[in-house]
Amino acid sequence: MPDLYPLHRFRYWTVLSLLVLSGGLAAQPADTLELERFLDLAVEQALGRQAAERDLRVAQLNYGVFRASLLPQISGSANFPNYSRTFGEITQPDGTVRFQPVRNNNSALGLNLSQAIPGTGGVLFVQSSLQRFDDLASDFYLYNGLPFRVGLLQPIFAFNPIKWDRRIEPLLVTEAEKQYVVDKELVRATATQLYFDLLLAEQEYGIASTNLTANERLYTIAQERYELGKISRRDLVQLELEKISAERARLRAEQSVSEASAAVATYLGLDPQSNAFVPAVPPTSGEHLITEGQALDWARTNRPEWTAFTRRRLEADRAVDQARKTDGPQLDLTASVGRVRSSSDLAEIYQDALPEEFVQLRLSLPIVDWGQRRKRMQIAQAELEYTSMAVEREALSLENAVRQTVRDFQTLQQELEMAQRVQELSEERFRITTESYVLGATPLAELTLAQREKDQAVRAYISTLRAYWTAYADLRQLTLRGDRF
């Protein structure tokens, strides 16, 4: 659709430079910027997109940390030197105590490998260590070595956080990926509002400029007709008032254009004092056809809220499981086998080590807790019930928002056709009335009324067009289908 009025240009060379680099000017005049190109630019330049990328990156890194925690973990330790020179308490055979000078070094090296068992919450481990004791006062030394030890730490009734994390952590990443798309659509929605703020300001300036030109012409004609005695002084004064009013309207419109252009530049992080671009009146298209059922299916599949609903239910179930098991009976199994040796000959430790075995079953049983465990269970259960209810309500609210937005969009498609027709008829009526007034066949009051109705029709069309594209942006945001509908 061509521009409704000559648009007031504002300076914006940075935007045009970006469009040239992306090939955006090949298909449009150098002084206009289509809505879709502007939205693409906003997604690239706006701070909101950069914040969305940061949030997604953080979520992916957190998931990477969790995944890495499930892999075998290797750690080492060293205690060297461990020198001591002091007086130590020495118990004598007769039970008395003597304080003897002590000067020694007790160093150690260790290597540990552990692997979490997600299904049971236990830990498999392999250890190796070497310790050397030196009594520097007597030149005595001794090695204590652990060539290897393989063992298992297994809680029997304990809460297993890994089992729940394996189900919840992937949902957090999926949720973040979907939220990233939502955040980009929010950038587009905000940019749509800014674009139409500027477009409406430009249109108001166009209306004011056109009206001023028309009123100046009519006032000149009226002066000639007044001198000939064909119109009254009242009509001449009225036309002068209309001309002054048009001048004031154009000044206000020019200020609105300046403010709107500055807001656009600020949002994109660009300099408002740049070369010219003109926001073009965006077209309407019958290609955006969507039913309520389609929109709901897309929303349930693509929106992060439905992923969050699943995650929140799992987190509530996890809290119940944790409350049930944390304060209840605890049974921990620790078992290991290995080889160990103490000797002054280092080679002997690794060549002729002795077997080591260890088994421990530890039971912890609360006897009196004055109802603490039961109350924690009740709290967790109450949270689970509330979460289930809240999720259902939020899902219903979101579904209703999707349905209502689809209906609004469908209604606005029809309203646009009517608003466009009203605008065309109002412009035609104003043209005919102006010609008739110049010929003296129409009173001034009717001309003034036709002009105001024409202006109002233009404003109504642009406002309806804005509502149409706002609803379209809302649909994109609610369904995350992008340009695929």
Q: What angle do CA 412, 454, 201 make, to 5 degrees?
A: 70
pLDDT surpassing 50 at residue 14: no
pLDDT surpassing 80 at residue 409: yes
What is the C-alpha to C-alpha distance for residues 26 and 174, in angstroms, rounded to an integer? Answer: 38
What is the C-alpha to C-alpha distance for residues 295 and 84, in angstroms, rounded to an integer? Answer: 75
What is the C-alpha to C-alpha distance for residues 82 and 331, in angstroms, rounded to an integer? Answer: 37
Q: According to the model, what pLDDT value does residue 326 have?
A: 86
Helix (H) or strand (E) holding 152: strand 140-155
The answer to which of 1-5, 40-44, 230-234, 438-442 has the lowest mean pLDDT is 1-5
pLDDT surpassing 50 at residue 16: no
pLDDT surpassing 60 at residue 29: no
Q: According to the model, what pLDDT value does residue 13 have?
A: 30
Residue 10 pairs with which residues in a beta bridge? 277
For residue 464, the SS3 value is: helix
Please report which confidence band the pLDDT of residue 94 belongs to, taking 50, 70 and 90 as the band edges.
confident
Q: Retrieve residue 44's tokens.
A: 């690239």
Read off the pLDDT of residues 80-90 as tens digits, 9 standing for 90 and up: 888 888 888 88
Q: Retrieve residue 133's tokens.
A: 């004791």
Q: Retrieve residue 273's tokens.
A: 């004092």
Strand 10-11, strand 276-279: pairing = antiparallel
Read off the pTM. 0.78
Q: According to the model, what pLDDT value does residue 439 have?
A: 82
pLDDT surpassing 50 at residue 34: yes
Q: Encode 395-434 in three state secondary structure.
A: HHHHHHHHHHHHHHHHHHHHHHHHHHHHHHHHHHHHHHHH
CB-CB contact of 428 with 397 (8 Å): no
What is the C-alpha to C-alpha distance for residues 225 and 231, in angstroms, rounded to an integer? Answer: 6
CB-CB contact of 318 with 164 (8 Å): yes
What is the C-alpha to C-alpha distance for residues 172 and 223, in angstroms, rounded to an integer? Answer: 75
94 Cβ contact list (under 8 Å, min separation 6): none
CB-CB contact of 275 with 25 (8 Å): no
Percentage, residues of the chain above pLDDT 90: 51
What is the C-alpha to C-alpha distance for residues 334 and 361, in angstroms, rounded to an integer? Answer: 6
Residue 113 pairs with which residues in a beta bridge? 74, 126
Average pLDDT, the chain: 86
Q: According to the model, what pLDDT value does residue 286 have?
A: 56
Q: Retrieve residue 454's tokens.
A: 């024409």
Mean pLDDT for 101-130 is: 94
CB-CB contact of 341 with 352 (8 Å): yes
| Ramachandran assignment for 482, one of left (phi > 0), alpha (psi -120 to 50 degrees), beta (any other) | left
Please report which confidence band the pLDDT of residue 484 belongs to, taking 50, 70 and 90 as the band edges.
low
What is the C-alpha to C-alpha distance for residues 200 and 256, in angstroms, rounded to an integer? Answer: 9
CB-CB contact of 456 with 419 (8 Å): no
What is the C-alpha to C-alpha distance for residues 388 and 185, in angstroms, rounded to an integer? Answer: 29
pLDDT surpassing 80 at residue 285: no
Measured torsion, CA atoms of residues 7, 10, 13, 15, in degrees rounded to the nearest 10: -70
Read off the pLDDT of residues 146-186 as tens digits, 9 standing for 90 and up: 999 999 999 998 999 999 999 999 999 999 999 999 999 99
Q: According to the model, what pLDDT value does residue 485 have?
A: 57
Give the ranges where 230-345 is alpha helix by DSSP (H).
233-268, 292-302, 304-326
Q: Residue 81, preceding bond cis, omega within 30 degrees?
A: yes
Read off the pLDDT of residues 314-358 as tens digits, 9 standing for 90 and up: 999 999 999 999 888 899 999 999 999 999 889 999 998 999 999
Query: 290 vs 84, 344, 407, 472, CA distance in Å?
Result: 81, 84, 10, 11
CB-CB contact of 238 with 447 (8 Å): no
pLDDT surpassing 70 at residue 12: no
Q: According to the model, what pLDDT value does residue 31 have?
A: 54
CB-CB contact of 351 with 312 (8 Å): no
Q: How far from the centroid of its chain's Cα atoms is residue 9's Cα?
A: 34
Helix (H) or strand (E) holding 186: helix 161-227
Q: What's the burial of 46, exposed, middle or buried (CB within 10 Å: 0-12/13-18/19+)?
A: buried
Q: According to the model, what pLDDT value does residue 280 have?
A: 86
The DSSP result for 88-150, as a single string, is EEEE-TTS-EEEEEEEEEEEEEEEEEEEEETTTTEEEEEEEEEEEEEETTTTEEEEEEEEEEE
